[in-house]
Amino acid sequence: MELLIKNGYVYDPINKINGEKMDIAVKDGKIVESVSSDAKVIDATNMLVMPGGVDIHSHIAGSKVNSGRILRPEDHYKDVKPRTAITRAEVGHTVPSTYTIGYRYARLGYTTVIEAASPPLKTRHTHEELNDIPLIDKSCYLVLDNNWIVLDYLSQGEIDKCAAFIGWIFKALKGYAIKIVNPGGVELWGWGKNVESLDDQVPPFDTTPREIIRGLCKINKMLNLPHTIHLHTNNLGKPGNYRTTIETMDTVSDLADGKPNIHITHVQFCGYGGDSWITLRSGAPEIAKYVNNHNHVTIDLGQVVFGDATTMTGDGPFQFILQNLTGNKWKNADVEAEGSAGIVPYKYKRKNFVNAVQWTIGLELALLIKDPWRVFLTTDHPNAGTFMKYPRVITWLMSKVAREKVLNKINKRAKKRSTLPSIDREYTFYEIAIITRAATAKALNLANKGHLGVGADADIAIYNINPMEIDPSKEYKKVRRALKRAAYTIKGGEIIVKDGEIVKSFIGETFWVKPAIPEDLEKDMLREVSEKFKEYYTVSLENYIIGENELASSKPIAVKTNL
């Protein structure tokens, strides 16, 4: 199966291609040098061509997401689409069905998405849902920082066995990276408590949040995992928490060796200055300064979009606080020996002072951080907004006028306090391509994603907009419209979207890492872990393990470790 995409303006930052008019050749699902005259031709004249989007943090599958769906039938009624010969029925707004998620990402030109937080004990559920998300390639991060076995080993200073255990968990449960959520705090939530600083104790474990983060950072390096540790900070959602965020970033700076070794997620939620909801202000300038001066950190935005959202995180205590603040219905679901999850419906309002400040923070971060290779576009879907709003967020980054329009509608006190009105920077298409596909693929170390070089997977997005003629600063509405409905989305060399409609559906791949653990170390570790399992868990170790055949389309990635 051959394709030739002709005459498009290509943005491929990994290969340093910046709006060059060139052809892209596809054969058997890969980008190739050239194709025969039999190739199907896509005329991309005057169109923008990019690699398919790579979303590094989104809540798309698993028990937490499904709890959100079940909790919120009211979310589904407003957003439905009847089934067609090619597509299943679509339903849901902030917590859509699995099919809806796949189709909607595809229509936006996204082709790889990662579920941001899967509790190990329920990861089988995550995979069953991933199996039912069409078209995109996908994976999941495993939440490991409040895991009793991890905490036991870290407390006892047994870092080798801890690394072996974590390596084994990736093989057993088929995940991609180490996810950390309010380290220590979520374990204390098992008693209804929380932590407030990086150096709080986490009884009965002899450890602190700082030690957990550093331990996992070291282990990540020992295991040589493709992505860094992916971290949701302590004190999320608390006024003044930007300090915790900077402290968190700084706590592993001595462990870095020139490359990023920590990714802080949805930094908007942990970028608050002030010391109360009344004195709330943006902490983005301080965080941006730190990120600009330290290249061991990557972040993603968690940009707020006004309107409906569903907050869902593994930060049980934070979700409880949010429930008390809003009075909204609240689901809490602790997972034995591992963590928690909380879901609270939410709505971001322009005239609400806090929401307006939150809105400015994500944008300030993106505009003040100089290196687009280390700041990624997300809305922490569906926490700060849905992924359907990515095109809108992009226009806020590319157009000061677009930002001003919103600034004039938000709470006036928030606007006055924000540095956003004074920022002139406007992202280019090249930079947008970086923060939505090139940089994320690079941060994930997915060699065949996020670029259009020969050998890459043929995951391509073509948008009906002429980057040479359009002025995205003034004509941002056109940009938004074009990015909302791809002219073409190509996945593995197959045309899946044409003019914003799904034309073909199939299941993409679930990729996961398979670290090589030395046999003896693994055996010793498993002997201990089997005993702990009997006491800590209510399932047998054998049944905890997920078979590869449970994944509809499994793509293991062998990883040579430093163990």
Partner 1 sequence: MKTIRNVVCPFCGSLCDDIEVEIEDNRVVKVRKGCAISATKFTKYNEERIYKPRIDGREVSLEEAINEAVEILANAKYPALYGWSCTSTEAINIGIEIAELVGGVMDNTASVCHGPTILGEQDAGISTCTLGQVKNRAELIIYWGCNPAHAHPRHMARYSAASRGRFVKGRKERTVIVVDVRKTHTAKTADIFIQIKPNSDFELLTALRWAVKNGELEQEEIAGIPAEKIEELADMLISCRFGALFFGLGLTMSAGKARNIEAAVNLVRELNNYTKFVMVPMRGHFNVTGANEVMAWATGFPFAVDFSRGYPFYNPGDTTFVDVLTRGDCDAALIVASDPVSGFPAEAIRNLAKIPVITLDPHETLTTMISKVVIPTAVVGIEAEGSAYRMDAVPLRLKKLVEPPPGILSDEEVLKLILKKLKERVK
| Residues numbered 302-331 forming contacts with partner 1, rule: CB under 8 A | 320, 323-324, 328-331
Q: Which of 28, 7, 9, 14 minimizes the C-alpha distance to 452?
A: 14
Nearer to partner 1, 293 or 543 (CB): 543
Taking every pair of Cα atoms in the chain, the longest distance, rounded to a whole number of angstroms, is: 69
Work out which of 43, 70, 156, 278 binds partner 1, going by CB under 8 A: 70
Nearer to partner 1, 95 or 287 (CB): 95
Residue count, binding to partner 1 (CB under 8 A): 63
Work out which of 66, 155, 182, 510 binds partner 1, going by CB under 8 A: 66
What DSSP string describes 172-225?
HHT--EEEEESTTHHHHHTTT----STT--BTTBS--HHHHHHHHHHHHHHHT-
Report which residue type is found at 392. R
Residue 54 CB, shortest distance to partner 1, in Å, is 23
Nearer to partner 1, 187 or 247 (CB): 187
Residue 84 CB, shortest distance to partner 1, in Å, is 9
| Residues numbered 521-550 forming contacts with partner 1, rule: CB under 8 A | 535-540, 542-543, 547, 550
- 3-class DSSP state for residue 353? helix
Residue 361 CB, shortest distance to partner 1, in Å, is 28
Spatial distance between the Cα atoms of 102 and 505, rounded to a whole number of angstroms: 9
- Does position 124 interact with partner 1 (CB under 8 A)? The reply is yes
Work out which of 2, 132, 206, 250 binds partner 1, going by CB under 8 A: 132
Judge contact between 554 and 512, C-beta under 8 A: yes
Q: Is the peptide bond before 204 cis (omega within 30 degrees of 0)?
A: yes
Phi/psi of residue 237, each to 5°? 80, 5
Spatial distance between the Cα atoms of 280 and 353, rounded to a whole number of angstroms: 9
Q: Which of 281, 311, 286 minimizes the C-alpha distance to 365?
A: 286
Nearer to partner 1, 340 or 383 (CB): 340
| Residues numbered 72-101 forming contacts with partner 1, rule: CB under 8 A | 72-73, 75-76, 80-83, 85, 88-92, 95-99
Q: What are residue 556's DSSP bridge partners? A: 512
- Does position 382 interact with partner 1 (CB under 8 A)? The reply is no
- Does position 174 interact with partner 1 (CB under 8 A)? The reply is no
Report which residue type is found at 20. E
Residue 550 CB, shortest distance to partner 1, in Å, is 7
Q: What would the two tokens of residue 372 be?
A: 């687009």
- Does position 129 interact with partner 1 (CB under 8 A)? The reply is yes
* Binding-residue pattern over the window 177 to 196 for partner 1, x denoting contact by CB under 8 A: -------------xxx----
> What's the CA angle centered on 223, arms 220 and 225, to 5 degrees?
65
Residues in contact with partner 1 by the rule CB under 8 A: 61, 63, 65-66, 69-73, 75-76, 80-83, 85, 88-92, 95-99, 121-122, 124-125, 128-129, 132, 148, 190-192, 320, 323-324, 328-337, 340, 343-344, 535-540, 542-543, 547, 550
